[in-house]
């Protein structure tokens, strides 16, 4: 911040924080947005002017305070100028540019207004000197990142061994790193792998660590995250895009072969490797939880360390820059989900891991997307949810919502296995046996229901006696299905002399044959 501007507008606030609130110079710098050096300089000016307590200054106007400090120390005022012009504090300029809507032209206008009685740089000179200052900074500091705009994420190249308590082979824990562009506020955690699930879990942990949501999340083009790597328009993998939508942000991968896009996180990875992983190099860890506890302790120290070339530290910059600009976290944490593309079968169900879930019958033959989480299955058609079911792990079974069924099938749903078996028993024992076989042998219950209802229709057409005779004949030839019964009825074979059936055959007497009494 320009020295004269501070003297006119904010030196009184600096002295209040120093003497009335007893804050350190570093905390005063963070609260007022000036450098620690400037705070120390103006505290010294006030002491030289004879002020040692807040009570001496509280009643003075800013004009009077300025006159009493600068009037007695014109030689000190000249110390903050060079070549008869007030030198802007470019570290402060660089920091202010990160605030939303702040431009170099605005900062130049404020610089001029803050020094009405002193020579100042014109706008062109001001911007050129600022660019020269930026050019002398490290690569990651040269770019201006807006507050709350970007969270850069990546995995470190270095891994940490996790030892097997049983003496087995060590596992290599991967170290995830995230850094906010404006404040350099850094997060790190260890994961078992770099799979999509671990990437997603680490992103969620990073968002919860910073307590908010940035406008963009910027990863590298990791294959676990990016479904379609593309130089110009990379597309995020479906689960990651779903996660971003849940948090109200967007995943915007860094462009391939554009190292400046990744400079921020590359530096953050180096910092984590030097200040966290290097300190843990001799430690032994037996679980990810144990490792993450150790990382968390050192992470606090990392974010509290003063910057080497800028005033303050990562935590102070985060509190003043990024935190106010972050969007709020949603009430519910994202539940990890995977996506599967399916086609709706003729029975208006889709197959998810061997279980069958219903969708509205009008979507038969259409392609839909299934979003599968730990507890639920959602069916999406053209981006809209059309069905939702609890997850079932029973393979070969159906989960059916009655509203999804056509009207005729809803009528069929009134039938139950016991009702169908009872109907078969009223026709005869052979018909009842066939009904039980149809219900037990079909992979899907509805398929068995439809076959039984087909037999009911045959009873209405041919009569109960002929149906029972056809079922006896079908059983004797081992053709226990609806089609065979209908063929027998259509050909009139049920009216011919019966074949040798199970009832005509008796079990031979033998010591190895248990006989029916064995089961009583």
Question: In this predicted structure, what is the pLDDT of residue 39?
Answer: 76
Query: Going residue by residue through the chain (520 aa), what tens digit of pLDDT does each one get?
Result: 444 444 445 677 788 878 877 778 777 777 766 677 677 777 777 877 888 888 888 777 766 777 777 654 444 344 444 445 677 777 777 777 777 667 888 888 888 877 777 777 888 888 887 777 776 655 444 456 788 888 999 898 899 999 887 777 788 999 999 999 888 899 999 999 988 888 989 999 999 999 999 988 888 766 666 655 555 444 457 788 888 888 988 887 765 545 455 667 788 888 898 889 988 888 889 999 999 999 999 999 999 988 876 778 899 989 988 899 999 999 999 988 888 898 988 778 899 888 889 999 889 889 999 998 888 999 999 878 999 999 998 887 888 888 888 776 665 566 677 888 888 889 999 998 988 888 887 655 555 776 787 888 889 899 999 999 999 998 888 888 888 999 999 988 888 876 654 444 444 454 544 344 433 3
Question: In this predicted structure, what is the pLDDT of residue 59?
Answer: 79
- Rounded Cα gap, residues 8 and 505, in angstroms: 115
Cα–Cα distance list, 444 to 351, 396, 398, 405, 451 (Å):
12, 6, 7, 15, 11
- Rounded Cα gap, residues 329 and 246, in angstroms: 10
Question: In this predicted structure, what is the pLDDT of residue 165?
Answer: 79
CATH of domain 150-325: 3.30.420.10
Per-domain residue ranges for the chain?
Answer: 3-136, 150-325, 338-405, 415-504
Question: In this predicted structure, what is the pLDDT of residue 208?
Answer: 95
- Rounded Cα gap, residues 477 and 473, in angstroms: 6
Question: In this predicted structure, what is the pLDDT of residue 189?
Answer: 94
Say whether pTM exceeds 0.75.
Answer: no
Closest residue by Cα to residue 309 from 496, 444, 146, 141: 141
Question: In this predicted structure, what is the pLDDT of residue 368?
Answer: 92
The answer to whether 190 touches 176, Cβ cutoff 8 Å, is: yes
- Rounded Cα gap, residues 283 and 173, in angstroms: 14
Ramachandran angles phi, psi of 286, nearest 5°: -115, 5
Question: In this predicted structure, what is the pLDDT of residue 191?
Answer: 94
Residue 192 neighbours by CB under 8 Å, 6+ apart: 171, 173, 174, 198, 288
Question: In this predicted structure, what is the pLDDT of residue 413?
Answer: 64
Question: In this predicted structure, what is the pLDDT of residue 512?
Answer: 47
Secondary structure class of 415 (helix, strand, coil)? coil
Question: In this predicted structure, what is the pLDDT of residue 506?
Answer: 45
Residue 150 neighbours by CB under 8 Å, 6+ apart: 180, 181, 214, 215, 216, 217, 218, 264
């Amino acid at each position: 911040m320009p020295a004269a501007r501070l003297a006119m507008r904010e030196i009184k606030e600096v002295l209040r924080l120093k003497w009335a609130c007893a804050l350190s110079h570093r905390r005063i710098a963070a609260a007022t947005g000036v450098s620690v050096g400037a705070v120390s300089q103006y505290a010294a000016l006030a002491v030289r002017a004879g002020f040692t307590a807040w009570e001496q200054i509280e009643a003075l106007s800013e004009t009077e305070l300025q006159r009493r400090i600068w009037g007695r120390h014109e030689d000190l005022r000249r110390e903050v100028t060079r070549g008869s012009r007030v030198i802007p504090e470019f570290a402060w300029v660089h920091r202010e540019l990160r605030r939303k809507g702040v431009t170099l032209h605005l900062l130049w206008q404020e610089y001029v207004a803050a020094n009405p009685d002193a020579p100042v740089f014109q706008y062109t000179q001001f911007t050129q000197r600022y660019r020269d200052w930026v050019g002398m900074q490290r690569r990651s500091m040269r770019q201006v990142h807006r507050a709350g705009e970007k969270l850069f994420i990546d995995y470190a190249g270095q891994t940490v061994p996790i030892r097997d308590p049983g003496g087995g082979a060590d596992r290599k824990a991967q170290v995830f790193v995230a850094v906010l562009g404006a404040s350099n506020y850094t997060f790190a955690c260890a994961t078992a792998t770099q799979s999509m699930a671990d990437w997603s879990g680490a992103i969620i942990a990073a968002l919860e660590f910073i307590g908010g949501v940035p406008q963009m999340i910027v990863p590298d083009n990791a294959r676990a995250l990016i479904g379609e790597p593309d130089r110009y328009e990379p597309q995020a993998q479906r689960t990651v895009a779903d996660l971003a939508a849940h948090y109200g942000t967007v995943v915007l991968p860094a462009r391939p072969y554009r190292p400046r896009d990744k400079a921020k996180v590359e530096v953050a990875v180096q910092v984590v490797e030097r200040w966290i992983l290097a300190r843990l190099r001799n430690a032994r860890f037996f679980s990810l939880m144990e490792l993450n506890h150790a990382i968390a302790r050192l992470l606090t120290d990392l974010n509290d360390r003063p910057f080497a070339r800028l005033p303050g530290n990562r935590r102070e910059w985060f509190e003043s820059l990024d935190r106010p600009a972050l969007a709020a976290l949603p009430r519910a944490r994202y539940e990890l989900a995977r996506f599967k593309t399916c086609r709706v079968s003729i029975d208006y169900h889709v197959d998810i891991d061997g279980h069958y879930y219903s969708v509205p019958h009008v979507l038969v033959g259409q392609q839909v997307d299934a979003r599968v989480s730990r507890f639920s299955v959602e069916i999406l058609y053209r981006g809209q949810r059309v069905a939702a079911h609890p997850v079932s792990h029973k393979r070969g079974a159906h989960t059916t919502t009655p509203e999804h069924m056509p009207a005729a099938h809803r009528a069929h749903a009134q039938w139950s296995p016991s009702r169908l078996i009872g109907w078969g028993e009223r026709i005869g024992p052979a018909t009842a046996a066939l009904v039980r076989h149809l219900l037990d042998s079909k992979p899907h219950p509805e398929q068995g229901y439809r076959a039984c209802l087909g037999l009911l229709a045959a009873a209405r057409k041919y009569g109960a006696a002929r149906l029972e005779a056809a079922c006896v004949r079908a059983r004797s030839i081992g053709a226990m299905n609806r089609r065979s019964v209908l063929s027998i009825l259509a050909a009139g074979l049920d009216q011919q002399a019966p074949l040798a059936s199970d009832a005509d055959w008796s079990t031979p007497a033998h010591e190895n044959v248990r006989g029916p009494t064995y089961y009583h």
